[in-house]
């Protein structure tokens, strides 16, 4: 693949205005699929959650999943959209091996939700009002696995496997209007927008919202035009980007790539592009015209969805707090610095900290444990911090033990390790392991001085590097304090004293 020429980012922005558009697919967490009774479950044996309906055998008849409609309306309402009083499904006809039906059941000209808006905050603190064009219901396709190639892509593969468990899983596709005016922050805005969508669907509990599993994935449209131009530039659509960081990188790459072509008088090909996480580049996919002929026609096997006004209003009344309002409320309640607050938002720790504070911890202590030690451990184990085997209640308990002077920070980290290993609550662990130690330096120094009085040569020995001499003093301190001293700290204090 020829190496793409890129323009320096600042230079690209000086010459061109960036316009982005985002299409986000959200996989709903319904028990069953969109049009049949098959289980909607991740990670099962391939082709076990399938039936004549979701693989499109002749004579099978679909029926709409009510819960999926409900979830779609909730998403629409949370995005400030109008909900259509009636909406038909349509068949989008195309052939691909992951689509056994030969058409995808989707919504075409009658989406369930339209004309919304979402306020999105980027890391600098700037806020943008992203206009939503529509949110429509559709079904997912199956999953192809290409085996034998180096990259996992079809090129170079020896054979391909198809798993239809995902075929027919309910999706909501949310499409923005073109987003202008983000300038240099367009990549950050794209990522922050997807993060906001993820937060909303998670708060609504309508999706597992795990990007690494593809529950939320983004197609990012990017185009450039000279400053002051009215006509939109030709756009590219980078498909299925499934991490926030990748979205940001992919948009930035496209800006730099397109700018280099346009500056030389070239033209942008309207096409889909693939994002390569490993190399940090996009590559050409397939040409995409605005008039791709999918021969849409109304799905004859499904009646239109006609949600009643009462149902819609009932769902509106049950909406959780809007994420932007929630952030403002928490920022005011917690009193973090702007930077601290932004960091916990960007690390996705609001839920954990809110629950930990609700369980009695001070906000700063909750922040410190979740954003510090626990995030570090999660990172080491390549996990999401939410997956760690510790509850907000337990973190609050740990902070309480520190506040009460029963353990210090160092021991708290030890206790944390035992909690994560499933040994019980912090209080239980401290009791069972006798970790409630005397570790305040004052008491330890007093005990060290007392022990040294009987062994005056020890400090000289330590100074000369004969560390085994320290053992006798540490032993004497432990004995004097009935085993409750923090031995490592005693050792540190003793060495400091010798070298003072």
Please give the size of the binding site for Zn ion, defined by CB under 5 A: 5
Q: Which stretch binds Zn ion (CB under 5 A): 37-45, 77-85, 424-432, 483-491?
A: 37-45
Nearer to Zn ion by Cβ, of 52 and 287: the residue is 52
- Min dist. Cβ of residue 48 to Zn ion (A): 11
Report the distance separating Cα 429 and Cα 398, nearest Å.
10
Q: Classify residue 61 by burial, with Cβ atoms within 10 Å: 0-12, 13-18, 19+.
A: exposed
Q: Which stretch binds Zn ion (CB under 5 A): 1-9, 28-36, 184-192, 366-374?
A: 28-36
- Min dist. Cβ of residue 50 to Zn ion (A): 6
Residue for token pair 């009083």:
85
Instruction: Look up residue 129 and give its two tokens.
Output: 């009002």
Nearer to Zn ion by Cβ, of 53 and 344: the residue is 53
Nearer to Zn ion by Cβ, of 301 and 325: the residue is 301
Please list every residue from 68 through 107 that binds Zn ion, using CB under 5 A: none
Q: Which stretch binds Zn ion (CB under 5 A): 43-51, 264-272, 471-479, 491-499?
A: 43-51
Report the distance separating Cα 239 and Cα 233, nearest Å.
19
Site string for Zn ion, 155-174 (x = CB under 5 A): --------------------
- Min dist. Cβ of residue 306 to Zn ion (A): 24
Please list every residue from 386 through 405 that binds Zn ion, using CB under 5 A: none
Q: Which stretch binds Zn ion (CB under 5 A): 17-25, 38-46, 128-136, 274-282?
A: 38-46
- H-type helices in 294-421, by residue range? 309-317, 323-334, 338-346, 350-358, 363-369, 375-380, 392-403, 409-420
Nearer to Zn ion by Cβ, of 7 and 50: the residue is 50
Nearer to Zn ion by Cβ, of 51 and 268: the residue is 51
Report the distance separating Cα 483 and Cα 441, nearest Å.
16
What is the spatial order of strands in the sheet that 216-226 belongs to? 82-83, 113-121, 127-139, 170-176, 16-27, 216-226, 236-241, 271-276, 281-287
Spatial contact of 222 and 254, defined as CB atoms under 8 Å apart = yes
- Min dist. Cβ of residue 89 to Zn ion (A): 16
Q: What is the largest CA-CA distance in the chain?
A: 96
DSSP, collapsed to helix, strand or coil, labels residue 335 as coil
Q: Which stretch binds Zn ion (CB under 5 A): 52-60, 210-218, 423-431, 489-497?
A: 52-60
Please list every residue from 456 through 495 that binds Zn ion, using CB under 5 A: none
38 belongs to the binding site for Zn ion (CB under 5 A): yes
Give DSSP secondary structure letters for 255-309. Answer: HHHHHHHHHTT-----EEEEEETTTTEEEEEEE--TT-----EE-TTSPPB---H
Nearer to Zn ion by Cβ, of 65 and 74: the residue is 65
Q: Which stretch binds Zn ion (CB under 5 A): 45-53, 131-139, 382-390, 410-418?
A: 45-53
Nearer to Zn ion by Cβ, of 53 and 396: the residue is 53
DSSP, collapsed to helix, strand or coil, labels residue 53 as coil
- Min dist. Cβ of residue 62 to Zn ion (A): 9
Report the distance separating Cα 434 and Cα 495, nearest Å.
25
Task: Measure Cα distances from 130 to 25, 27, 112, 123, 181 in Å.
Answer: 17, 21, 19, 16, 11
Spatial contact of 242 and 276, defined as CB atoms under 8 Å apart = no
Nearer to Zn ion by Cβ, of 49 and 196: the residue is 49
Nearer to Zn ion by Cβ, of 60 and 93: the residue is 60
- Min dist. Cβ of residue 335 to Zn ion (A): 51
Please list every residue from 315 through 354 that binds Zn ion, using CB under 5 A: none
- Residues in a beta bridge with 438: 485
- Min dist. Cβ of residue 318 to Zn ion (A): 29
Q: What 8-state DSSP symbol labels residue 187? A: H
DSSP, collapsed to helix, strand or coil, labels residue 105 as strand
Nearer to Zn ion by Cβ, of 47 and 393: the residue is 47
- Min dist. Cβ of residue 47 to Zn ion (A): 11
Nearer to Zn ion by Cβ, of 36 and 494: the residue is 36
Report the distance separating Cα 20 and Cα 370, nearest Å.
34
- Min dist. Cβ of residue 56 to Zn ion (A): 10
Positions touching Zn ion (CB under 5 A) are 36, 38, 51, 53-54
């Amino acid at each position: 693949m020829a190496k793409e020429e890129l323009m320096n980012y600042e230079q690209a922005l000086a010459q061109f205005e960036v316009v982005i558009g985002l299409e986000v697919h959200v996989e709903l967490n319904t028990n069953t699929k969109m049009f049949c009774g098959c289980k909607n479950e991740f990670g099962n044996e391939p082709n076990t959650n399938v039936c004549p309906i979701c693989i499109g055998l002749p004579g099978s008849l679909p029926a709409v999943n009510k819960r999926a409609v409900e979830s779609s309306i909730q998403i629409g309402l949370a995005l400030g959209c109008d909900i259509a009083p009636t909406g038909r499904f349509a068949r989008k006809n195309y052939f691909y091996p992951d689509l056994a039906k030969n058409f995808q059941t989707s919504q075409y000209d009658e989406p369930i939700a339209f004309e919304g808006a979402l306020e999105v905050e980027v890391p600098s603190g700037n806020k943008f009002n992203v206009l939503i064009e529509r949110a429509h219901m559709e079904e997912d396709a199956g999953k192809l696995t290409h085996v034998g190639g180096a990259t996992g892509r079809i090129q170079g593969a020896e054979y391909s496997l198809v798993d239809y468990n995902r075929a027919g899983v309910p999706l909501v596709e949310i499409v923005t209007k073109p987003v202008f005016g983000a300038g240099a922050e367009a990549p950050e805005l794209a990522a922050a927008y997807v993060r906001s969508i993820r937060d909303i669907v998670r708060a609504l509990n309508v999706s597992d919202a795990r990007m690494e599993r593809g529950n939320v994935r983004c197609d990012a449209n990017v185009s450039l035009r000279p400053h002051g131009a009215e006509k939109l530039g030709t756009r590219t659509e980078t498909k299925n980007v499934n991490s926030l960081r990748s979205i940001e990188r992919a948009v930035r790459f496209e800006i730099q790539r397109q700018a280099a072509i346009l500056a030389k008088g070239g033209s942008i090909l309207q096409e889909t592009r693939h994002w390569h996480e490993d190399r940090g580049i996009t590559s050409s996919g397939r040409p995409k015209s605005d008039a791709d002929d999918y021969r849409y026609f109304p799905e004859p096997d499904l009646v239109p969805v006609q949600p009643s006004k009462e149902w819609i209003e009932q769902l509106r009344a049950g909406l959780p707090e809007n994420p932007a309002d929630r952030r403002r409320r928490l920022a005011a309640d917690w009193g973090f610095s702007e930077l601290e607050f932004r960091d916990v938002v960007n690390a996705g720790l609001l839920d954990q900290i809110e629950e930990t504070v609700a369980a009695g911890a001070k906000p700063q202590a909750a922040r410190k444990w979740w954003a510090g030690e626990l995030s570090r451990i999660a990172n080491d184990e390549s996990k999401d911090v939410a997956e760690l085997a510790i509850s907000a209640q337990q973190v609050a308990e740990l902070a309480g033990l520190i506040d009460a002077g029963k353990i210090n920070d160092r021991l708290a980290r030890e206790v944390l390790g035992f909690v994560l290993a499933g040994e019980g609550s912090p209080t239980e662990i401290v009791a069972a392991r006798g970790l409630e130690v005397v570790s305040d330096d004052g008491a330890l120094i007093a005990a060290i001085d007392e022990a040294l009085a009987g062994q005056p040569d020890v400090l000289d020995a330590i100074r000369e590097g004969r560390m085994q001499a320290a053992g006798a003093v540490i032993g004497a301190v432990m004995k004097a304090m009935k085993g409750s001293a923090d031995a490592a700290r005693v050792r540190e204090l003793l060495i400091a004293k010798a070298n003072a």
